[in-house]
């Protein structure tokens, strides 16, 4: 058997575009797939949203499940992030496929052109899916050794860098490391300002108490030790030294910024957390790329509905 070419990068066994269109050839195939994901092939996971009864039968012609007790009829999208959608399911699944398979994401304008919808429709579709991604990762708390830092997202601000900027959006970043020093999970969240209370709020929402926080020598990080964390400060002086001491932090920060600048160009501060959630969702599942599309479908049917008003205001 010939030696394996060390320069040949293996291609993940992901769903190809051709396979996608073969699997989801029409709306019926999309409904059947979502039904199986949400309730099981034989409705074994069905629960009536009205009476909580666990038995029902499928009405094939209407594409609804009817509760055997109260007779309420429920669609596969009811009560999910796809609640009361008007855009065909096939187009929604394509949007999920794009978000899951392209690490750079997909812009609303590009998606609108691909599936033939308005910009606003594509924008709302993507933000609903990002909200589902965000909800999925909120249940996880980083633990063990966790590197913490902050960065700034936005346009250039001439003459000012780092913590002195005013017009950019500050973002707190945390990376959980394995015992061997490899990254496991990450968390990112926007902040109103970079100060001790904001960093403490971020840590308490994303990092389990008792974890060891590895940070630079900035004074505001010292207060985290009083909130139930161990603290290890390393004075870096910024620049190349900071990258050398915190390589994984800077790798994820750099990749996140490239995603935003390269695909979305600029994002509104009130929607920034959804874009950060999109990046974090893929990053935290980077070793399971082959199943990422299927996992995003599960996240979508598990998330609660969102109104257009909630999407526009950024209050989800």
The domain spans of the chain are 17-138+303-313, 145-283
Q: Taking residues 238-266, report their average pLDDT.
A: 90
What pLDDT score was predicted for residue 98? Answer: 96
| Class of domain 145-283 (CATH, top level) | alpha beta
Q: Is the pLDDT of residue 248 over 80?
A: yes
Q: Is the pLDDT of residue 207 over 90?
A: yes
Q: Is the pLDDT of residue 301 over 50?
A: yes
What pLDDT score was predicted for residue 8? Answer: 62
- Residue 309 · residue 84 · CB < 8 Å: no
Task: State pTM to two decimals.
Answer: 0.91
Q: Taking residues 93-105, report their average pLDDT.
A: 95
- Residue 242 · residue 142 · CB < 8 Å: no
How many other CB atoms sit within 10 Å of the CB of residue 142? 22
Quote the mean pLDDT of the chain: 91
Instruction: Give exposure, 262-297, as e/b (b: 16+ Cβ within 10 Å).
Output: ebbeebeeebbbbbbbbbbbbbbbeeeeeebbebbb
| Token digits of residue 79 | 């009560």
What pLDDT score was predicted for residue 236? Answer: 77
Rounded Cα gap, residues 43 and 116, in angstroms = 33
**Which range among 138-147, 224-233, 305-314 has the greatest average pLDDT?**
138-147
> At 155, is the pLDDT very low, low, confident or very high (cuts 50, 70, 90)?
low
| Phi–psi pair at 186, nearest 5 degrees | -130, 160
The position carrying tokens 């291609």 is 11
């Amino acid at each position: 058997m010939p030696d394996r070419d060390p320069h040949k990068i293996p291609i993940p066994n992901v769903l190809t575009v051709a396979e996608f269109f073969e699997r989801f050839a029409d709306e019926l195939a999309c409904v059947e797939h979502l039904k199986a994901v949400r309730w099981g092939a034989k409705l074994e996971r069905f629960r009536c949203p009205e009476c909580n009864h666990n038995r029902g039968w499928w009405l094939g012609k209407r594409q609804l499940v009817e509760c055997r007790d109260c007779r309420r009829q429920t669609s596969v999208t009811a009560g999910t992030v796809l609640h009361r959608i008007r855009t065909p399911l096939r187009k929604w699944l394509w949007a999920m496929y794009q978000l899951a398979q392209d690490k750079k994401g997909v812009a609303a304008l590009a998606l609108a052109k691909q599936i033939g919808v308005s910009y606003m429709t594509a924008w709302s579709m993507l933000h609903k899916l990002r909200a589902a991604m965000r909800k999925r990762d909120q249940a996880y708390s980083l633990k063990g050794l966790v590197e913490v830092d902050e960065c700034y997202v936005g346009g250039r601000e001439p003459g000012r860098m780092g913590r002195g900027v005013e017009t950019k959006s500050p973002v707190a970043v945390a990376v959980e490391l394995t015992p061997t020093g490899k990254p496991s999970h990450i968390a990112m969240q926007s902040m109103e300002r970079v100060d001790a209370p904001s960093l403490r709020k971020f840590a308490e929402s994303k990092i389990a108490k008792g974890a060891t926080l590895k940070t630079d020598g900035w004074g505001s990080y010292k207060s985290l030790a009083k909130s139930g964390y161990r603290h290890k400060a390393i004075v870096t002086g910024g620049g190349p030294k900071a990258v050398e001491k915190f390589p994984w932090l800077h790798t994820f920060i750099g990749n996140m910024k490239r995603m935003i600048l390269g695909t979305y160009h600029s994002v509104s501060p009130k929607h920034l957390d959804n874009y950060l959630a999109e990046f974090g969702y893929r990053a935290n599942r980077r070793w399971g790329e082959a199943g990422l599309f299927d996992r995003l479908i599960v996240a979508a049917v598990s998330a609660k509905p969102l109104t257009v008003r909630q999407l526009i205001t950024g209050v989800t």
